[in-house]
């Protein structure tokens, strides 16, 4: 039972680290996208530097927002897994208590049968 709990904890921690790594968009990818849009659109873009700065700022803000959302998502998953692990621990303790009580009752019944035979 403890092995399962430890294994689940390790899986959750691995998922936490992988989920918090937001892919970062490079400037070269942004420039390529701008050039693709310029070539496909029929709109004449006059101030290319201002456009690049604006797009870079928007991308950085979106990446920041994405990190925030991922942190909330991962926090929610961690809380759910924590509650689940605590529930499993509680069930394990209750099972041990029931096993002890069952062994005690079996011992009492075997003792009472031994006394009635004598």
- pLDDT tens-digit series, residues 33-52: 777 777 766 666 677 777 77
Q: Is 43 left (phi over 0), alpha (psi -120 to 50) or beta?
A: beta
Q: Which domain holds residue 11?
A: 2-112
Instruction: Please give the pLDDT value at position 95.
Output: 94
Instruction: Please give the pLDDT value at position 66.
Output: 81
Considering the domain boundaries, does residue 75 fall inside one?
Answer: yes
Please answer whether residues 81 and 1 qualify as being in contact, where contact means their C-beta atoms are separated by less than 8 angstroms: no
Considering the domain boundaries, does residue 118 fall inside one?
Answer: no
Instruction: Please give the pLDDT value at position 42.
Output: 62
Angle CA(21)–CA(2)–CA(79) in degrees, nearest 5? Answer: 40
Considering the domain boundaries, does residue 59 fall inside one?
Answer: yes
Considering the domain boundaries, does residue 82 fall inside one?
Answer: yes
Considering the domain boundaries, does residue 117 fall inside one?
Answer: no
Considering the domain boundaries, does residue 16 fall inside one?
Answer: yes
Instruction: Please give the pLDDT value at position 49.
Output: 75
Instruction: Please give the pLDDT value at position 72.
Output: 85
SS3 108: helix
Instruction: Please give the pLDDT value at position 44.
Output: 66
The parts of the chain modelled with pLDDT lower than 50 are: none
Number of domains in the chain: 1
Taking the model in full, what pTM does it have?
Answer: 0.54
């Amino acid at each position: 039972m403890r092995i399962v709990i430890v294994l689940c904890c390790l899986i959750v921690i691995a998922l936490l680290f992988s989920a918090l790594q937001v892919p970062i968009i490079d400037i070269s990818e942004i420039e390529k996208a701008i050039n693709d849009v310029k070539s496909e659109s029929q709109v004449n873009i006059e101030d290319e530097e201002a456009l690049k700065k604006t797009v870079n700022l928007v991308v950085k803000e979106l990446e920041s927002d994405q990190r925030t959302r991922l942190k909330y998502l991962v926090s929610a998953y961690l809380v759910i897994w924590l509650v689940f692990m605590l529930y499993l621990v509680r069930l394990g303790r209750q099972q041990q208590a029931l096993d002890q009580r069952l062994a005690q009752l079996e011992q009492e019944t075997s003792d009472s049968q031994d006394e009635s035979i004598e």
